[in-house]
Structure 1
Amino acid sequence: MNEYELMTIVRTELDEEGVNTLNERIGDLIRTSGGEVIETQLWGRRTLAYLIRKQREGNYVLFRLRLLPSATAALERSLRLNENVLRHLLIRKEA
């Protein structure tokens, strides 16, 4: 399994409970794919450099995780389909 960092930008319309629920859902996706979440950091609300889906701000969440390389495509697909996730970036950490 490789180590990855997943940065997500979440809609600001979600309250704190909604963000936590979404984070749990993302964690469940990772765990059902055979991975594990090492750490979750809530960076809070930040102003975006440009409009994304007519949004000026977003809540940033950073996940550190271990996952099989074959499971990354399914994770990214489900994040793209989730309407509460404005943007995401999944990168593999160097060993």
Structure 2
Amino acid sequence: MNKYETLFILNTSLEEEAKKAIIEKFKGVIENGGGAIENVDEWGNRKLAYEIGKANEGYYTLINFTAAPELPKELDRVFRITDGVIRHIIVRNEK
């Protein structure tokens, strides 16, 4: 089991319920894949460093979790096919 963190940015045009549903979806992917969520930190709306697809702001969420090495590949796949996700990154913490 390795420690990971993922940061993803959602489109601010989504309704609050849709944002919560997408966050729960990603938490479910981690937990159903055998991972354990350590922390979920919702940063809220923030200004983007540069415009992405005509969007100047995004809703940031950081999730810290532990999982087997195969899980980040599946999580990345789900990020790519989910509408409303502007950007995402998954990083392995080596401490």
TM-score range, shorter chain: over 0.9
State the AA in 1 paired with 2:46.
R
Percent of residue pairs bearing the same amino acid type: 36
Map 1:7-46 to 2 at 5 A. Answer: 7-46=7-46
For the residue of structure 2 that corresponds to 1:50, the secondary structure is: strand
Matched, 1:55 2:60: no
* RMSD of Structure 2 on Structure 1 (CA): 1.0
Structure 1: 5+ residue stretches without partners: none
2:73 alignment partner AA = A
| SS of residue in 1 equivalent to 2:38 | strand
Residue deviations 1:27-74 (CA, integer Å, cap 9, x gap) = 001111110111100101011111112211000000001111112111
Gaps of 5+ in 2: none
TM-score by length of 1: 0.93
Paired amino acid for 2:89: L
Give the whole-Å Cα distance in 2 for the aligned partners of 1:53 and 1:36. 33
* 1:14 Cα deviation after fit: 1.8
When the two structures are aligned, how many residues end up with a matched partner? 95
Task: Give the Cα separation in 1 of the matches to 2:36 and 2:23.
Answer: 13
